[in-house]
Chains A and B, each alone.
Chain A
Amino acid sequence: MRTRRTSTVPVLLAVVALLAASCGGTAQPAATSAPTAAPTSAAPTAAPTTAPTAAPTVAAGELDADTIAKAKTEGTVVLYTSLSSSDSKKVGDTFAASAKAYGLKITVNRKSSESLVTQFMTEAKAGKVLADVLETGGIDLFQAIKAGYVEGWKAPAASAFPADLKDANGVWHAARLGVETIAWNTTAVKAADAPKSFEDLADPKWKGKCLIEANDVEVLLGLGERKYKDQAKAQDLLTRTMANCTPSDGHTETLDKLIAGQGAVFWGAHAHSTEQKKAAGAPVDYMTTEGVVTIDGPGLVKGAAHPNAAKVFINWYLSAEGQKVLADLFRVPARPGAANEKLLPKTIYYTGPTLAEKFPAYQEFWKKTAK
């Protein structure tokens, strides 16, 4: 049975050769591997690179012919996104079909937001810019913006967006809104007893019955900065809420636990995933009176290999056509008029990149309280 051939060592040899070769000439001390194209300014003051060249013939919201022509020669766009795998596939496929006329292809790299931005930043520090578009949560995207890895560019398609849903210099545009709310298990909670505001979970009646997403600093940020306009008040609420609630990792994992009966109420549920479970018949419902709304969206990567293709993607994504794909996925698109209003809470507290500078303080407090 045992076959032996005398010529079968090459795997090992190849690896040795590869590694040996790689270390031969260019061995540099690791310390010099620090960012080669290091960003210097913390504040994203980059002036928009595109001069107002839009030819008069270009329709409102559309790209100029020059960008499109260059995008055609670039041929492909690499999208880094934190959309879920099925959603990112849907977005990628629809864009590819739409961009066929330009001969544009799309490559999608999907990861959860922290992993995605972590990977992106590491690559950027290494001078290996693989992404053309970075599409993720606003607070996460801000890390890349702050580090100077995002190019300012104002997408024509976003001209109708209100000012708080896009950056003045175009380093970010809102594409999708994430509604964070309180969900409850309808088997355990009668409609009359259901929470109507974030303060309700501080009530001792929820002691031991409440789950809280373990890292959901953004809800606290939204409440502190938009609802109370008082950081201390938000911190006090968290302290009292934490006394009743058990931290649980992951928005959707915790939602699953809620449905299974581990808790009666859940602080930090995503409205769209709760809506999906509810539609599938799960015994769950959520608060619509108020909600913290996160602003997620794309940024054009500085030094991208396919900058014009990236612009084509971003502009499509923010257009009525691109935004409809998100709406069809039960998500809340940012474009005015594109969202299903039922999915939005009556009172909205926006977070997003503009609050990102305040985030660390809330995070610090959260860490102490959730210990």
Chain B
Amino acid sequence: MATAARGASFALPALPRSGVLIPAMAAILLLLLTVLPISMLILGSLQVEGREGLTLANYASVYSDPRTYQLLSNSFLYALGTATIALSLGTALAYIVERTNVPFRRAFFAVTLVPLIVPGIVSTIAWVYLASGKIGVINKAFMALFGLADPPFEIYSLLGMIWAEGLHLSPLVFLVMVGAMRAMDPSLEEAAVTSGARPLRTLRSVTLPILTPALASGALIMFIRGLESFEVPALIGIPARVPVFTSEIYEALRRYPQDYGSAGALGVGLLAISAVGVWWYGRLTRRAERFVTITGKGYRPRMIDLGSWRWPALAFLTLYLLVVVVMPFLVLLFVSLLPFYIPSLDMLQRLTLQNYVTVLEHPDTLLAARNSLLLAFSSATIAMALTAVIAWIVVRTRLPGRRILDLLAFLPIGIPGLVLAVALIFELISFPIPIYGTLIILVIAYVTRYMPYGMRTNSAAMLQLHRELEEAAAASGASWGTTFRKIVVPLLWPSLVAGWIYVFVVSVRELSSSVLLISHDSIVVSFVIFDLQVSGQSNAVAALSVLLVLSLVVVVGLTQRVSSRIGVKGG
């Protein structure tokens, strides 16, 4: 974590006007990362191949098609359901693990992060093995146990999609909420308890209102993440005939002739919905002062004694881990050890390590692993550093246009990875930068895509910091750089770490942009998984997924360990 700390610190060697320089550069970088691709997207949506000039023809054809409104309704239901599941599960988990004396909470903390690490394509495949029609393991088990004639669950449905994506996203909410809860001033809760409030009352009247900014941003992120998610709509939605915006864009780019125009028009539609989300978020958090919860006072988060409720809480955690971590992992492990998948215990006689041999002998595995690590590390560091400065500008200054910066840092969340990749390719066409097919273009894509998460994490946390500390530093003559480094970064630390880990992990998982942007030398792990999957080596995919999950668990575990030590010290 030491290196990330370096990346996240903003000390320039005694530049006199660093107070202006760094924020200004960050703002310019932000413009380049967002305005350019969005302009490309909009321009693209206004062009029809082979015709001169700009036209609204793509919009006319896309938005006069009744199918688009079916997409809209599917997308909306899917995103809403996903957000509901992810938010309720993630918040409950964060509260139990972070604030109560539930048994084994430390162990749970680590294990809860595992599903966050699992690439979307992997968890989706795992759920297909678990709950698809007649061949899902869970279905098989229920049918055998209860003598059912038909499989009880069907992953190939809207509910199945919501289930897979909601579970998949719940650890992200968990991370966001843990960050917010750590940054919370417990004296407010203590006051409630001292005044005789019971734990549930305290939770409802004190804790939840304090957490409102984080909850609102979490809900928003989940909703939009659901809107722009790709793996579940592609792997479950298309076969289930539940088309959503992203899968439709994917289809438009996959057919001949490639329909960039429709993809662009749909992409701009998604963007518009996101913009509404941002505007809404802005309204929610405008009266930010209400939620200021960190002041200069020293504090320690207080543990809540659950009493006899410890055991139901433990049961809830166990069930969650069983469904979200243990079963998907076991089914992948099972598949990874088989020559071909049949949901039957008889297959245990046919176990083989051949898939692991295939994966390790795969010509691209090592190169891809190296590239993925390198990319994830740089993207996470750059994204968190950049958004910390941008969040500061937005929250702290009265610069005209700061709301626009906020909007810009958030907008990429509404650009599906595929569309961003197309926009970037057109960008490279227009501006002769020789980075096509290199890792740099992937870093640019990842930073752009994941900046919004850094931005939400950082600004939600920044909103909770009272400016009195910074004002004190400034009054004592500290420069902007020193204040930022000595006051803001340490206070933001839990959020910075949480955000960094998240961006690191999602960068390793990233698929939908990479698929269009990689060349042979810039191949990444998620693409190798995808490539093996489309080459029909699904058992090898399971083996590679198991290896990937295990190595990411080690990386995240170490990061968590080191950073929590730093966090204690720094906090």
Which residues from chain A sit less than 8 Å from chain B, CB to CB? 1-9, 11-13, 15-16, 18-20, 22-23, 26-33, 84-86, 89, 107-112, 114-115, 117-119, 121-123, 125-128, 130, 140, 143, 214, 246-253, 255-257, 259-262, 273, 277, 280-283, 359-360, 363, 371
Assuming the contacts A13-B25, A273-B536, asked whether A2 and B570 have C-beta atoms less than 8 A apart, the reply is yes
Selected from B12, B53, B255, B381, the residue in CB contact (under 8 A) with A363 is: B255
Assuming the contacts A11-B382, A85-B532, asked whether A28 and B516 have C-beta atoms less than 8 A apart, the reply is no
Contact indicator A4/B536 (Cβ below 8 Å): no
Chain B residues contacting A9 (CB-CB under 8 Å) are 10-12, 22
Shortest CB–CB separation between residue A368 and chain B, in angstroms?
11
Interface assignment of B82: CB less than 8 Å from any CB of chain A: no
A330 to B234, CA, bound (A): 30
Q: List 28 A-B contacts (CB under 8 A).
A: A3-B5, A8-B6, A9-B10, A9-B11, A12-B29, A15-B444, A19-B29, A19-B33, A23-B431, A27-B430, A31-B47, A85-B528, A85-B532, A108-B520, A110-B520, A111-B531, A114-B254, A118-B253, A122-B425, A122-B516, A126-B426, A130-B437, A130-B519, A143-B257, A253-B536, A256-B536, A281-B350, A283-B342
Chain A residues contacting B519 (CB-CB under 8 Å) are 109, 130
Contact indicator B485/A4 (Cβ below 8 Å): yes
Contact indicator A1/B239 (Cβ below 8 Å): no
Selected from B26, B255, B341, the residue in CB contact (under 8 A) with A259 is: B341
A108 to B33, CA, bound (A): 31
Assuming the contacts A3-B5, A252-B535, asked whether A259 and B133 have C-beta atoms less than 8 A apart, the reply is no
Name the residue of chain B whose CB is nearest to the CB of A283: B342
A247 to B130, CA, bound (A): 20
Selected from A4, A22, A252, the residue in CB contact (under 8 A) with B431 is: A22
A117 to B566, CA, bound (A): 49
Name the residue of chain A whose CB is nearest to the CB of B436: A128
Interface assignment of B363: CB less than 8 Å from any CB of chain A: yes
A248 to B240, CA, bound (A): 9
A261 to B22, CA, bound (A): 60
Assuming the contacts A130-B437, A214-B238, asked whether A112 and B429 have C-beta atoms less than 8 A apart, the reply is no
Which residues from chain B sit less than 8 Å from chain A, CB to CB? 2, 5-7, 9-13, 22, 25-26, 28-29, 32-33, 36, 39-40, 43-44, 47, 53-54, 132-135, 235, 238-239, 241, 253-258, 339-343, 350, 358, 362-364, 378, 381-382, 385-386, 422, 425-426, 428-433, 436-437, 440, 443-444, 485, 515-516, 519-520, 528, 531-538, 562, 565-566, 569-570
Selected from B12, B25, B566, the residue in CB contact (under 8 A) with A1 is: B566
Selected from A89, A114, A248, A260, the residue in CB contact (under 8 A) with B239 is: A248
Chain B residues contacting A31 (CB-CB under 8 Å) are 43, 47, 53-54
A277 to B341, CA, bound (A): 11
Contact indicator B13/A118 (Cβ below 8 Å): no
Chain B residues contacting A8 (CB-CB under 8 Å) are 6-7, 9, 11
Main secondary structure of the interface of B (DSSP, over half): helix
Contact indicator A85/B430 (Cβ below 8 Å): no
A184 to B32, CA, bound (A): 54
Shortest CB–CB separation between residue A292 and chain B, in angstroms?
19
Contact indicator B256/A84 (Cβ below 8 Å): no
Contact indicator B5/A12 (Cβ below 8 Å): no
Shortest CB–CB separation between residue A203 and chain B, in angstroms?
21
A119 to B513, CA, bound (A): 12
Assuming the contacts A26-B431, A85-B362, A85-B531, asked whether A16 and B341 have C-beta atoms less than 8 A apart, the reply is no
Contact indicator A262/B135 (Cβ below 8 Å): yes
Assuming the contacts A143-B257, A260-B341, asked whether A1 and B520 have C-beta atoms less than 8 A apart, the reply is no
Chain B residues contacting A5 (CB-CB under 8 Å) are 6, 11
Assuming the contacts A256-B340, A280-B340, A282-B340, asked whether A126 and B363 have C-beta atoms less than 8 A apart, the reply is no
Name the residue of chain B whose CB is nearest to the CB of A273: B536
A211 to B377, CA, bound (A): 43
Assuming the contacts A2-B566, A6-B13, A128-B436, asked whether A30 and B40 have C-beta atoms less than 8 A apart, the reply is yes
**Contacts A126-B425, A247-B241, A259-B341 supplied; 10 other A-B pairs, CB < 8 Å:** A3-B2, A3-B5, A11-B382, A22-B433, A29-B430, A84-B537, A85-B528, A89-B363, A247-B239, A360-B256
A347 to B367, CA, bound (A): 44
A358 to B537, CA, bound (A): 32
Chain B residues contacting A26 (CB-CB under 8 Å) are 431-432
Selected from B11, B26, B32, B241, the residue in CB contact (under 8 A) with A371 is: B241
Contact indicator A252/B9 (Cβ below 8 Å): no
A28 to B36, CA, bound (A): 12
Name the residue of chain B whose CB is nearest to the CB of A24: B431
Chain B residues contacting A260 (CB-CB under 8 Å) are 135, 340-343
Name the residue of chain B whose CB is nearest to the CB of A19: B32
